[in-house]
Amino acid sequence: MDLTENKQYLCKKTYNTKLKKKINKYLFTSLFLISLTNLFSQESTRIQIDSAGFFEKDDIKFSDATVLTRDNKNKVKISHEGVDLWCNQAYFYEKSNYIEAYGDVVLIQGDTINLSSEYLEYNGNTKIAFASGDVELIEPTSVLSTDSLYFDRNKQEAFYNNFGRVIKAKEDTIYSKVGRFFIDKKKYEFRRNVLLKNPKYDITTSRLDFYTENGHAYFYGPTDIISDGSNIYCELGFYDTNSDNGYFIKESRVEFNNSTIYADSIYFDRNINFASATNNIKIIDTINENITRGNYAEIFKSKDSMFITQKAIIASKQDVDSLYIRSDTILITGNEDNRVIRAFKNARIFKQDLSGRADSIHYNKSKGLAQFININNKRDLSFEKTKKPILFNLNNQITGDTIHLKFQKNTNKIDSLIVYNNAFILEKDSLGVGFNQLSGKALYGKFFNNELKSIDIIKNAESIYYLRNDKQELVTIDRSKSAKLKVYFKVSEIDKIQKINQIDGKTYPENKFNDNLKELKGFNNRLDEKINSINELFNEIKEREN
């Protein structure tokens, strides 16, 4: 971006010296008054005229000024306490120790500052300079261009308030309405309409502190970092322009092409397209229609992977409902077509008509498969019984060593259920204190509109069923064994049981159905673990001591 071509950041090059002198006279006088303390605390030295082609003295014409003009070979040269000044013509006010320099002005301070302009005023008593007209301040790590500039040698500070541009190492170009340069610290303070342009990104903010030696940038106020692959927003933050990484706090967010990360604080590394977030995290995935929350996360965007921990929860849209998975840690990998979600340690699942728990839940989008897995190396049968994966479909409790849910790929609705080894369904009798129970080696269930409609229980199938008439009066209690059971549900309650190759069976009146008949092997009432709301996903369950 050319300095003279960008109206938003730089004034036009045209400049009237006398008019500019009048406009800025009041500010120069103010700086003079501010520096009076320095003036009286130390004895000022006189400005030295080192060389000039022509000298002219005329009190009437030039009002107490000596006019110094260059010749064909050399410029006028002036020096004062460590600075050298060259120009085409100068007005030297000896009584006030003051210089006005015109035409191709250059002021050099050691090897730190090279200041050039069309016009410059310098006060030898206050050591304050004012430069205007194509001003350029060059120091070892940056070049500042502006229309007018104040330079305080006592404080070693330079200041502009009429738009400026700073170029650092030909990579970073910074524009602002107001800027201040702290020479000893190699630090700029940019304020109002700040824009940092880099080949990889643009930064816009209301205030930016920038260190030219190490390329560190600090933001104060609403800030946007815009690039092809990501957009970043914060209201307080830091960015290392040399290493291409940053840390953002206060209303911080990072937007990728199809996801947005919100958090109290976010670290971002552009080199590897990596972000880590801390506290009150919300990650919105618009492609997969997921929202993930937690308190610590790491996102590897180039690898399409993310893990989130500390009260981690992910919500996925399913038709008109949402499916929530919560666990200690959630790991998400793969693009939108091959998305895999792994939730491990205390994993829970919830939707309006379904909930469940397991050590870990593994969901593969491309296969439409969710697996509920428990890892248990203990031999304690009572503990093992408690720790089996569990599902609740409305009034039904379903347990087994491993549980699989299959989803329709196009709608994401639940299609079917498979329970491997020690399958068990428990349902509280609608009016009594007993429980309808179904058990077997394996279980296959079928859903329609996310509601369980039928199941097949195979191998060593057993059942206990409380039979009631149309008036809901208990008729009898059936307990039987079969090779296989076909069970039909109505409004998610057992409606009919079909026994295939029945081995044994008997019906009992309620008064004859004693305690040792009321429970099948593997019975474990965990209905109190049913998750009824999103908030209950975070409730802790105490281990039983059965």
User: How far is it, in rounded angstroms, from Cα 511 to Cα 495?
Assistant: 23
23 Rama sector, left if φ>0, alpha if ψ -120 to 50, beta otherwise: alpha
DSSP classification of residue 69: E
Identity of the residue numbered 79: S
Domain ranges of the chain: 350-538
Q: Binning pLDDT at 50, 70 and 90, where does residue 44 land? A: low
User: How far is it, in rounded angstroms, from Cα 120 to Cα 106?
Assistant: 9
Positive/negative CA dihedral, 382, 387, 388, 391? positive
pLDDT for 138 equals: 95
CATH class of 350-538: mainly beta
Average the pLDDT over each of 178-187, 268-277, 404-413, 506-515 and give the range with the smallest value.
404-413
**What's the pLDDT tens digit per position in 434-468?**
899 999 999 999 988 778 899 999 988 999 999 88
Spell out the residues 6+ positions from residue 182 whose beta carbon is closer than 8 angstroms to its own: 156, 157, 188, 189
Burial of 361 (C-beta count, 10 Å sphere; 0-12/13-18/19+): buried
Secondary structure percentages of the chain, helix, strand, coil, to 5? 10, 60, 30
User: How far is it, in rounded angstroms, from Cα 264 to Cα 148?
Assistant: 40
**What's the pLDDT tens digit per position in 47-58?**
999 999 999 887
User: How far is it, in rounded angstroms, from Cα 278 to Cα 476?
Assistant: 59
Residues listed for the chain = 546
% pLDDT > 90, the chain: 58
pLDDT for 541 equals: 58
User: How far is it, in rounded angstroms, from Cα 311 to Cα 344?
Assistant: 12
Residue among 145, 110, 143, 129 nearest 4 (CA): 145
Identity of the residue numbered 46: R
Token look-up 């301040």 returns 137
**What's the pLDDT tens digit per position in 315-331?**
987 767 788 999 999 99
User: How far is it, in rounded angstroms, from Cα 141 to Cα 185?
Assistant: 12
- HEC sequence for 410-425: CCCCEEEEEEEEEEEE
Identity of the residue numbered 266: I
pLDDT for 545 equals: 37
**What's the pLDDT tens digit per position in 421-436?**
999 999 888 787 889 9
